[in-house]
Structure 1
Amino acid sequence: MGDQSARIDSTGEQETSSTRPEPVRDAYGISNSFLCSEDQDLWSQLHPSNVAVGTHKELESLRKKLKEDYGMKDQLWKLLKRFLQGHDQEHVVNKDFLSFHGFIAVTKWFGSFKRMKKGNTCYCLQQVENLMKKGGVKRGKSFVSWFAGFITNDEAYKYLRKEKCGTFLVRFSESLSSEGGFCVAVKLKDDEVLQYQIKGDYEQACNGERYNANLRLNSELKEARDIGPCTNIVEFVDALRCGVDIEGDFETFCPGLPLNATFQGYS
């Protein structure tokens, strides 16, 4: 886009930063703005549902488009589909449809669907695939990931409270969902679980040849400055596990997370 201060809203109108109104946000805090014109074009090309034309699209039309444009693998689609629908799990009546807000949320967490300058892929697919390949370890025939996806603060506590010290997981942040934020939770002594927010710059993440969300701990702690900025969530977790001087050891992946079955067999 020539004017980087211009934004495209859900109606298709383009406004400058000086004239555009504040973006409307849904109950989850997700803004109604596309990240770029390519995402708007993709959304407009998807087949509209007969439920609410313009606010819902058929998931199958997105799958076909991504497979046609980028040769997307079926296993990668399984995880992306979970992310696209997971944001609205409690509100989805028909699982065959994708909401506009789910589409926007995924681009804030993993980047735009626009084609990268190098390689036959887009930013979003590259980042989701990177998570599938590097977001865990093989244990025998199983793949155990540290990424929990859409679980709440309370659910993270329940997963971790009985685990040994240093066990951790990463999830989508509820309070930072409008900013593409994550949250890392780690088990301390007794039943204590500490949770840190992770915040980046989703608006600038896809402006270069490589994806770079500039992820950092969203904390005033002096020690938090030792982590990042990191280009993506996988790199961020690698930095955490290098023994940074914040509370929590980040040694062991939390077992039994809901996405492990989806990760299985991809790496």
Structure 2
Amino acid sequence: MGDQSARIDSTGEQETSSTRPEPIRDAFGISNSFLCSEDQDLWSQLHPSNATIGTQKELESLKKKLKEDYNMKDQLWKLLKRFLAGPNQKNIIDEGFLSVHGFIAVTKWFGSFKKMGNTCYCLQQVDNLMRKGGVKRGKSFVSWFAGFITNDKANEYLCKEKCGTFLVRFSESLCSEGGFCVAVKLKEDEVLQYQIKGNYQQACNGQRYNAKLRLISKEAQDIGPCTNIVELVHELRCGVGDIEGEFETICPDLPLNATFQGYN
């Protein structure tokens, strides 16, 4: 008998369990727990069988729905698609697979896809990040957001920069909680990494998104709560609080900078 798990993919070729990507539970460290019924309904529309891994058809269906319902810009989709792919999931970007774990993880970082006026929480927050998550330098936009890089990679970026240089990334240890990490070069041989935690379960309960993010410091009072990551970084750069480190210079040449260029 043939492989009972075989199916036909969007190209018309037979796809077996050996060719489909594995679910990315380990990459995100989360289970299939939707934030709200609207997100679960959206996933069910994209993939009626409720499988954890979809094909390019589901990814394109999500793009089409977000463009039709919320007039999403192509450049915003380019960044959102990278976030949906998650860490070390190059095959999802290149081949167009959509994972329920990536779908849920994005809502924990940026809010639900639940409709809010003429947009949704998630697109509003990604748009805010693209507009305000950095500074203009000449004709270029330099963002402090590095996306999916590891602790070691953050140190590698910062060790060659001057003191006071910083970046923000998704937290490896807090992926399941929608957490972030900010890294700052303190001394020539020292980089500090601060965890940023929030309340993703209640972030979309009001008329405005409010993740209640806090930067956790063992030596000083926490920074926050802030409604989103852009607001928290703004407070850090303004010198709010008494934590160690000067957040003066955005780390250059981060991997997402090209995606941010020209967005307005």
Q: TM-score range by the shorter chain?
A: 0.7 to 0.9
Query: Which residue number in structure 1 is paired with residue 231 of structure 2?
Result: 235
Judge conservation of contact 2:159–2:191 (CA < 8 Å) in 1.
yes
Distance in 2 between residues matched to 1:198 and 1:152, nearest whole Å: 15
Task: Write the mapping of 1:18-97 to structure 2, written as runs, cut at 5 A.
Answer: 26-27=25-26, 28-47=28-47, 54-57=51-54, 58-89=58-89, 92=92, 95-97=95-97
Judge conservation of contact 2:44–2:50 (CA < 8 Å) in 1.
no
Distance in 1 between residues matched to 2:100 and 2:87, nearest whole Å: 11
Distance in 1 between residues matched to 2:238 and 2:59, nearest whole Å: 39
Displaced runs of 4 or more, over 6 A: none
- The alpha-carbon distance between structure 1 residues 90 and 63, as it changes in their structure 2 partners (threshold 3 A), is closer
5+ long unaligned stretches in structure 2: 1-23
Query: Which residue number in structure 2 is paired with residue 145 of structure 1?
Result: 143
Judge conservation of contact 1:160–1:168 (CA < 8 Å) in 2.
yes
C-alpha displacement at 1:56, in angstroms? 2.0
- The alpha-carbon distance between structure 1 residues 193 and 143, as it changes in their structure 2 partners (threshold 3 A), is same
TM, length-normalised to structure 1: 0.84
Judge conservation of contact 1:34–1:40 (CA < 8 Å) in 2.
yes
Number of aligned residue pairs: give it.
236
Percentage of identical aligned residues: 79
Query: Which residue number in structure 2 is paired with residue 262 of structure 1?
Result: 259
Q: Could you tell me which amino acid in structure 1 is paired with residue 167 of structure 2? A: L
Distance in 2 between residues matched to 1:215 and 1:223, nearest whole Å: 14
Judge conservation of contact 1:149–1:170 (CA < 8 Å) in 2.
yes
1:206 aligned to 190, 204, 207, which one?
204
C-alpha displacement at 1:60, in angstroms? 0.6
Q: Could you tell me which amino acid in structure 2 is paired with residue 85 of structure 1? A: A
Q: Could you tell me which amino acid in structure 1 is paired with residue 36 of structure 2? A: C
Distance in 2 between residues matched to 1:188 and 1:234, nearest whole Å: 22
Judge conservation of contact 1:115–1:123 (CA < 8 Å) in 2.
yes
- The alpha-carbon distance between structure 1 residues 79 and 93, as it changes in their structure 2 partners (threshold 3 A), is closer
Judge conservation of contact 1:47–1:61 (CA < 8 Å) in 2.
no
TM, length-normalised to structure 2: 0.85
Distance in 1 between residues matched to 2:109 and 2:257, nearest whole Å: 19
Judge conservation of contact 1:206–1:212 (CA < 8 Å) in 2.
yes
For residues 66-116 of structure 1, give each alpha carbon's deviation from its aligned partner in whole angstroms, at most 9, with x where no partner exists. 011111111111111111113351564963111111001100000000011
Distance in 1 between residues matched to 2:255 and 2:227, nearest whole Å: 25
